[in-house]
Amino acid sequence: MTPAPPPAGDTPDVLIVGGGIGGLSSAFALAREGLRVRVLERAAEFGEVGAGLQIAPNCTRILDEYGLLDEAKELGVLPEHMVMRDAIDAEELTRLDLRDVERRYGFPYLVIHRSDLHGIFLRACRRAGVELLTDRSVTDYEHTGNGARVRLADGTAEEAPVVIAADGLHSAARRELVGDDVVSSDYVAYRAAVPIEKVRDNGVAEQDVTVYVGPRCHFVQYALRGGDMFNQVAVFESPKALAGQDDWGTPDELDAAFAATCDTVRKGIPLMWRDRWWQMLDRDPVETWVHGRIALLGDAAHPPLQYMAQGAIMAIEDGWVLARHVARQSSAGDAAALDWDAVLASYEAVRVEHCRRVQSTARAWGDLWHLDGEKRLRRNAVMRARDTHDYGFTDWVYGPTALLPDEEPAMFTPIPLSTVPLTS
């Protein structure tokens, strides 16, 4: 049964600030539990900017539960392998057989355009009766006697029993409730999604996700939209950022960063969008996401560096976990009787630790990818020694999303590079 959207002006059960992938996926998850959900988006229309996303089995499992996986498969690509190569000499270092990954975890590894995944959730929210409002810029958050209230830039206010702040890396709620600053990695990302014909002569692997790791840079490639488009991401350390300059990550730095890389990477660099780039920022993990009836979600709670390709996934998982705890606490679908304090406490109890691990591992993974000199050689030796079907480094993240703290799997055991012998 599809619930009817609430009349304008009525108080919803849940108010979500932010209409990105985290906000919309959470709105859909909560609407599936019979809650009346209102989403406030600051832009004039719902949409996403960017290029490709990698969606691992811990997320395609959720898409399948939502009945959205087939649509995602139609719009995306199921690659055959994930291959890591050295960006200087193009040597293969290690690979994951993604068909075997699907057999192990029960769900596929998918790549999809960010706007396509956002569109899937937007259409799902409309079908589910979520109230979707644009041009609503939230500037302030307040607690009320039985919930929370947000103040908007136009002077109006909205309130609900619970407010979910899914307003991204530069979250107004995070600024007000936590007060910390973003952390710059001094790395910058350039992206491009181009017709496949533009790269077919560049030595690309159309059926794989390929990551070239090099000294202070890396380059990612994979097909999108049924193989008709090709996604590329170029990431490098900015000398201007290290020097403290405000204008950093500029196109001249892009060209210089990849000048010594292999042919396939160098051929891809001229295709990158040069009118926009993304400084790679995150925040230090925090232990408290719930402040009364205001809860942080997605990048507002745990913005990671992108090296594990889990940012959007974690936001989708957040909404799924929140909705599952709503279902556990619900009394015959009666939203008025829902124990929101118990729901939010359960959400925070399990998600904080998982996302802390992902954030910390993403930082370490970025360091590992960008090594130079002897450390690069030791890293390459470790990766070459890995068996294709060794899942010791993925089981903790690609498996089922934990609902309770004791369901969170043990992490992998790192291999200290200092213990790895160099071979001639």
Residues annotated as part of the active site: 222
Alpha carbons 225 and 75: distance in angstroms, whole number: 5
List all residues 6 or more positions away from 245 whose beta carbon is below 8 Å from its beta carbon: none
Residue in this structure with the two tokens 């979910």, named with its chain if needed: 164
Which of 24, 97, 25, 109 lies closest to 61 in space, CA to CA? 109
Longest dimension (CA), the chain: 72
Which of 283, 278, 281 lies closest to 296 in space, CA to CA? 283
Which of 181, 176, 180 lies closest to 142 in space, CA to CA? 176
Record the tokens describing residue 56, joined without a space.
Answer: 């691992």
Using CA atoms in the order 364, 370, 375, 379, what is the torsion angle rounded to 10 degrees?
70
Which of 323, 301, 283 lies closest to 166 in space, CA to CA? 301
Helices (H), 11-105: 21-31, 57-65, 69-75, 98-105
List all residues 6 or more positions away from 71 whose beta carbon is below 8 Å from its beta carbon: 120
Amino acid type, 302: H
Alpha carbons 117 and 54: distance in angstroms, whole number: 11
Name the pairing type of β-strands 229-237 and 278-282: unpaired
Name the pairing type of β-strands 52-55 and 81-86: unpaired
C-alpha separations of 321 from 85, 117, 151, 314 in Å: 35, 19, 27, 10
Q: Helix (H, G, I), strand (E, B), or coil: what is residue 354?
A: helix
